[in-house]
């Protein structure tokens, strides 16, 4: 990180070069350290589909991702591969390799005919390796990638008496390689100013394609990188235009919002079957998909204002979701586009079943969990964790039958100053959503008492959950938080000091584009921060400021209760 002192020093050193000094002093962003990021489960899947097709089955369990500072994308630059994790990667890779070279699939990838089915054929094996290798490793092959693999393939063919056993070995060797499982970013001196570092073209190609498509570069992008076209603004812009216009953008946008919305928690979501008979894993799957469909429809198809996601009444429905939303769905299997009527309590994605079932307990809703989620994930604020030594004896009145609603019960907490400080940040938002129960069904009463969803967000009052969406949409933090999240997602770390001004520039651009996502994406990938770097991370940065974010983000073991 560049402290003000450091910036001054640079100016002193370059005193004779007044222009360079000005540039360093904030007007041009300089990116932070390059990262080594482990592929997420989805990115792994995309790599297999892109390289081998949809019909290759991926069997096995992925090592869990680790959320840091609210994003798996940031955690991916920290996680390693454990022994059991590697065991799984190898088993998955071996299984995929077997399918790829099976009689059913081999003709798709092996464009040569081996001299013999039972003997080594180095030429044909190498042709095969060169066919699949660059796509998987996201770079051209080097001699060191080729020789050992061809030798080992020959040995395998001799052992098994089968040419394709050698190819199988080649595929597995690529799928367990560190530069497949990790995206290893490389920075090099800027040819126009060797004192600065820029991302290599290949690294930039990967950053682009993982941000926009959540997958490795396609052949066209790789070729552009190899020709050095990404180092000049025009060449880069050409690729960015192409990629933004591609149908694959949807996968990238989905992956980003799944990360921000913490939808990976759906994988382990369970509800009490007696209290919530409407819940099932299919309902959870469709609730997750519903929100993502609304996001994609609104932000990509309609090129809408990001903030309107919190007020839009347009949605999609399946028959499985029908009982949760109390609507009739004609199609048995298909998704139906629909629009909630103006008087309906559903407006904006905060009223979706997805968020409300995710941020609840197994047997009831939680205004506090919902409030913490909204503050941290959507407004980029930090809610401190509950202190350990609260005397909960004060609140044992909670179970007193005279407190019928969550508002009544949380009101007891508000009587205590220690608790009030944080709960006043979270609870008003969550109480505004209390008409949605632990699986997101609409209700008007709790224990026979009417539910009051009025409240205030940072000083602006709202009368009910629909107004909450409108007030939320107009909060200046909403757009700024998306900028910050998307940038962190793109580079796999928090912005460094030299990128602070860039953040403000991006916010301004986002605003002047009427909060269009493609404008923000374009702004990020064409920025200096995205394309430049400092030396690799030597010391782990202090993560103190991230801790509170993680208290909720890192999972059930740290979830606080109300």
Partner 1 sequence: MSHLIIRPRRLTRRNLLRSTLRGTLGGAAIAVGLPYLDIFLNDNGDALAATGAPLPRRFGTWFWGCGMNPKRWNPTRDGRVFDLPPELEPIAGIREHVSVLSGFNVILAGETNMVHRTGVIGTLCGGAPPSKTENNGPTLDVLISDAIGSATRFKSLEMAATGIATDTYSRRSEDAKNASETSPISLYTRIFGPGFSDPNAGEFVPDPQTMLRKSVLSIVGEDRKRIESQLGARDHARLDEYFTSLRQLERQFELQLSARPPLEACRAPELPEEGPVSRDVAHVKANHAAMAKVLALALACDQTRVFNMVFSEGASQLHQSGSSDTHHTLTHEEARDEKLGYQVEATKFVIHSMEAWATFVETLAGVPEGDGSLLDNCAVLAHSETSDANSHSVTGLPMMVAGGGGGRLRPGVHVFGAGDATTRLGLTLQQTMGLSVASWGWKANETDRPINEILA
Residues 509-528 that bind partner 1 (CB under 8 A): none
Among 179, 190, 308, 505, binds partner 1 (CB under 8 A): 179
Please report whether residue 152 would count as binding partner 1 according to CB under 8 A.
yes
Stretch that binds partner 1, among 50-58, 160-168, 326-334, 508-516 (CB under 8 A): 160-168
Interaction of residue 401 with partner 1, rule CB under 8 A = no
Looking at 59-183, list the stretches that DSSP marks H as alpha helix, in order from N- to C-terminal side.
72-75, 83-100, 106-109, 122-137, 143-160, 163-175, 178-181
176 lines the binding site for partner 1 (CB under 8 A): yes
β 36-38/187-190 pair status: unpaired
Q: Treating both helix axes as pointing N-terminal to C-terminal, what angle do 517-525 and 201-213 enclose, rounded to 10 degrees?
A: 170
Q: Which residues between 437 and 466 bind partner 1 (CB under 8 A)?
A: none
Q: Looking at residues 323 to 362 of the shown chain, list those that interact with partner 1 (rule: CB under 8 A).
A: 361-362
Minimum distance of partner 1 from residue 340's CB (angstroms):
28
Of residues 123 through 142, those in contact with partner 1 by CB under 8 A are 142
Residue 103 found at the interface with partner 1 (CB under 8 A): no
The DSSP symbol for 119 reads S
CA–CA distance, 242 with 244 (Å, rounded to integer): 6
Q: Does 555 sit near partner 1 (CB under 8 A)?
A: yes
Shorter beta-carbon distance to partner 1: residue 122 or 186:
186
How is residue 41 written in tokens?
A: 């489960």
Query: Is the separation of the CB atoms in 385 and 506 below 8 Å?
Result: no
Closest residue by Cα to residue 108 from 56, 180, 47: 56
Q: How far is the CB of 410 from partner 1 (least distance, A)?
A: 11
- Least Cβ distance, residue 438 to partner 1 (angstroms): 8
Residue closer to partner 1, measured from CB, 384 or 476: 384
Whose Cβ is closer to partner 1: residue 203's or residue 231's?
A: 203
Q: Which of 20, 26, 58, 64 binds partner 1 (CB under 8 A)?
A: 64
Asked if 389 touches partner 1 (CB under 8 A), the answer is yes
Give 25-83 as a 3 state SS string: HHHCCCCCECCEEECCHHHHHHHHHHHHCCCCCCCCCCCCCCCECCEHHHHCCCCCCCH
Between residue 421 and residue 440, which ones bind partner 1 under the rule CB under 8 A? none
Cα dist from 83 to 58, 64, 90, 174, 262, whole Å = 20, 13, 11, 18, 26
- Binding-residue total with partner 1 (CB under 8 A): 94
Range 212-271, binding partner 1 (CB under 8 A): 268, 270
Question: How many Å separate Cα 62 from the centre of its chain?
Answer: 16
* Contact call for residue 74 and partner 1 (CB under 8 A): no
Binding partner 1 (rule: CB under 8 A), the pick from 342, 343, 448, 556 is: 556
Contact 135, 219 (CB under 8 A): yes
CA–CA dist 392, 427 (Å, integer): 18
Residues in CB range of 17: below 8 A, 6 or more apart: none
For partner 1, give the closer residue by CB, 516 or 559: 559
Give the residue, chosen from 49, 186, 327, 503, that forms a contact with partner 1 under the rule CB under 8 A: 186
- Quick check: 150 and 122 in contact, CB under 8 A? yes
* Least Å from the CB of residue 186 to partner 1: 5
Phi, psi at 457, each rounded to 5°: -120, 110
**Residue 261, helix vs strand vs coil:** coil
Query: What is the per-residue DSSP string for 264-276?
Result: GGGGG----TTT-
The correct pick among 8, 15, 22, 87 for binding partner 1 (CB under 8 A) is 87
Tell me the closest approach of the beta carbon of residue 417 to partner 1, in angstroms.
18
Residue with smaller CB distance to partner 1, 54 or 143: 143
User: Residue from 191, 194, 343, 393 that binds partner 1 (CB under 8 A)?
Assistant: 393
Measured between alpha carbons, how far is 338 from 290 in angstroms, rounded to an integer?
A: 11
Closest CA to 292 of 268, 259, 319, 322: 259
31 near partner 1, judged by CB under 8 A: no
Of 64, 81, 78, the residue nearest 555 (C-alpha): 64
Closest CB 397 distance from partner 1, rounded Å:
8
- As a residue count, the chain comes to 562
- Contact pick of 392, 415, 424, 449 for partner 1 (by CB under 8 A): 392
Are 535 and 503 in contact, with CB atoms under 8 Å apart? no
Q: For the segment 267-296, give every residue that binds partner 1 (CB under 8 A).
A: 268, 270, 272-275
Q: Is 119 in the site for partner 1 (CB under 8 A)?
A: no
Query: Contact between 297 and partner 1 (CB under 8 A)?
Result: no
Q: Segment contacting partner 1 (CB under 8 A): 42-50, 205-213, 397-405, 461-469?
A: 397-405
Minimum CB separation of residue 74 from partner 1 in Å reads 11
**DSSP letters spanning 484-523:** HHHHHHHHTSPPPGGGHHHHHHHHHHHHHTTS-HHHHHHH
**Span interacting with partner 1, options 83-91, 321-329, 414-422, 503-511, rule CB under 8 A:** 83-91
Q: Indicate the SS3 state at residue 330.
A: coil
Chosen residue from 400, 415, 421, 445 binding partner 1 by CB under 8 A: 400
Place of tokens 């990838």: 109
Separation between Cα atoms, residue 353 and residue 366, nearest integer Å: 14
Select from 298-306, 501-509, 517-525, 538-546 the region that touches partner 1 (CB under 8 A): 538-546
From 213-221, 238-246, 349-357, 398-406, span contacting partner 1 (CB under 8 A): 398-406
């Amino acid at each position: 990180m560049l402290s003000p002192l450091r910036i001054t020093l640079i100016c002193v050193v370059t005193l004779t070069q007044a222009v360079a000094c000005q540039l360093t002093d904030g007007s041009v962003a300089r990116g932070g350290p390059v990262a080594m990021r482990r592929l997420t489960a989805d990115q792994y899947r995309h790599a297999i589909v892109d390289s081998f097709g949809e019909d290759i089955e991926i069997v096995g369990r992925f090592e869990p991702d680790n959320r840091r500072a609210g994003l798996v994308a940031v955690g991916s630059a920290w996680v390693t591969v454990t022994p059991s994790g590697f065991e799984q990667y190898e088993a998955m890779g071996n299984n995929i390799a077997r399918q790829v070279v099976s009689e059913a699939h081999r003709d798709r990838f092996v464009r040569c005919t081996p001299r013999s089915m039972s003997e080594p054929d180095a030429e044909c094996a190498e042709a095969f390796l060169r066919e699949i290798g660059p796509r998987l490793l996201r770079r051209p092959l080097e001699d060191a990638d080729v020789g050992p693999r061809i030798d080992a393939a020959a040995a395998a063919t001799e052992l098994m008496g089968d040419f394709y056993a050698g190819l199988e070995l080649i595929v597995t060797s690529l799928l367990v390689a560190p530069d497949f499982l990790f995206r290893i970013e490389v920075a090099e001196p800027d040819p126009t100013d060797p004192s600065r570092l820029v991302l290599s073209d290949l690294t930039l190609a990967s950053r682009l394609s993982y941000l926009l498509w959540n997958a490795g570069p396609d052949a066209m992008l790789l070729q552009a990188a190899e020709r050095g076209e990404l180092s000049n603004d025009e060449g880069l812009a050409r690729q960015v235009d192409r990629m933004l216009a591609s149908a694959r953008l949807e996968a990238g946008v989905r992956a980003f919002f799944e990360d921000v919305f913490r939808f990976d928690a759906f994988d382990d979501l369970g509800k009490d079957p007696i209290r919530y008979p409407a819940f099932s894993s299919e309902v959870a799957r469709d609730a997750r998909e519903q929100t993502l469909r609304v996001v994609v429809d609104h932000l990509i198809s309609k090129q809408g204002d990001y903030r309107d996601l919190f007020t839009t009444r347009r949605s999609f429905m399946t028959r499985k979701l029908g009982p949760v939303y109390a609507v009739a769905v004609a199609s048995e299997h298909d998704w139906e586009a629909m629009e909630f009527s103006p008087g309906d309590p559903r407006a904006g994605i905060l009223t979706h079943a997805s968020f409300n079932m995710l941020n609840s307990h197994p047997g009831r809703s939680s205004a506090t969990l919902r409030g913490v989620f909204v503050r941290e994930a959507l407004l980029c604020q930090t809610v401190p964790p509950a202190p350990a030594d609260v005397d909960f004896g004060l609140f044992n009145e909670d179970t007193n039958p005279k407190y019928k609603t969550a508002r009544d019960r949380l009101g007891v907490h508000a009587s205590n100053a220690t608790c009030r400080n944080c709960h006043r940040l979270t609870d008003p938002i969550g109480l505004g959503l209390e008409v949605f129960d632990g699986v997101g069904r609409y209700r008007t009463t709790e224990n026979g008492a009417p539910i009051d969803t009025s409240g205030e967000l940072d000083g602006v009052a709202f009368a009910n959950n629909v107004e909450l969406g409108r007030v939320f949409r107009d909060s200046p933090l909403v757009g700024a938080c998306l900028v910050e999240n998307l940038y962190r997602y793109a580079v796999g770390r928090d912005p460094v000091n030299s990128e602070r001004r860039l953040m403000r520039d991006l916010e301004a651009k986002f605003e002047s584009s009427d909060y269009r996502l493609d404008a923000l994406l374009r702004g990020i990938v064409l920025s200096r921060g995205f394309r430049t770097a400092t030396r690799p991370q030597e010391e782990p940065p202090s993560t103190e400021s991230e801790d509170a974010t993680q208290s909720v983000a890192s999972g059930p073991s740290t979830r606080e209760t109300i």
